[in-house]
Each structure stands twice: as C-alpha cells, then as structure tokens.
Amino acid sequence: MTETIEANLPSLEEVFESFEFLDDWEERYRYIIDLGRQLPAFEDTLKTPEHKVEGCVSQVWLIAYPDREEAGCLHFRGDSDAHIVRGLIAILLTAFSGKQAEEIAAADGRALFDKLGLGGHLSPSRSNGLFSMVQRIRTLAAAHVAEAPAS
C-alpha cells in the first residue's frame, strides 16, 4: 500500500477544469469513468466487510492509511464493482487523500459535488451512495484523529 492515488490521478483543480471544458454530461460521465480506470489496483484481500461502505447500491470498499512521512496526513484507496462509482471514488480520493485527518473529518463533501454539478445528474440511489462514501471517509479520518497521541 505504498502507492498513493496522487501519483495516478489529476489534481482536484484539473478535475474542475475538465468539467468546465466538457460541455455535455455524456462526456463528463465518460471522463468520470476514465478517472476510475486510473485508480491503483485494489487487492481482493481488502474487499472485506470491514472496508465495505454501507448505503451504496454498488459494492464499494474504502480504506485509509497514514502517510509515512507527514504526521496526521491520511491517504485513501477504494474500489467498486461499478465503473461510474469507481470514477466517483477517484474524485473523492483526489479531494481527500493526502490531507490532514482533522481537515478531512470536517470537510463538506456535498459542496465538492455541488461545485461539479453532480447533484442534479446522479440518480437518487447513486447520490445516497456518494454521500455514504463521503461519510465513510470522514469517519475514517475522525477515527484517526481520535487514535492520534495528544501532543
């Protein structure tokens, strides 16, 4: 698990720029799916109930792991059995991976997807799953903060 997603995916700013450049939602969906294809491999041994995100229609797994060099910094990895959901995971990981756990735990994932305009273009079940993923990331970050030794 030494590979971080930051090495494979565009920056969040590049994602926003691509969304602005792509005029129609068909192209944006293809872009989201392409982002999902760029996720690092997620080993089957990590696809356990412990890592599964509840509240998603698709199968989704997310894990967090600390940065080896920067205290309090977390990285995330994830996978799904659905192509579009893998792309949504890629956007989430781009947004949250490599940040401080406190910042992640306090983040507003809904604002991120509102900025991309996804709210009105996802089915209700996919939107619910998306926010379940955001909540899982925030919960993992909050657990890391709680486990961190007091300074």
CB 100 within 8 A of CB 73: yes
Beta strand 60-66 pairing with 99-100: unpaired
H/E segment holding residue 139: helix 124-147
DSSP lists the bridge partners of residue 66 as 74
Which of the residues 9, 15, 53, 56 is marked catalytic? 56
Query: Residue 134's closest CA among 86, 66, 51, 62?
Result: 62
* Distance (Å, whole) CA 16 – CA 91: 10
DSSP lists the bridge partners of residue 76 as 64
Decide if 73 is catalytic: no
Active-site residues: which are they?
56
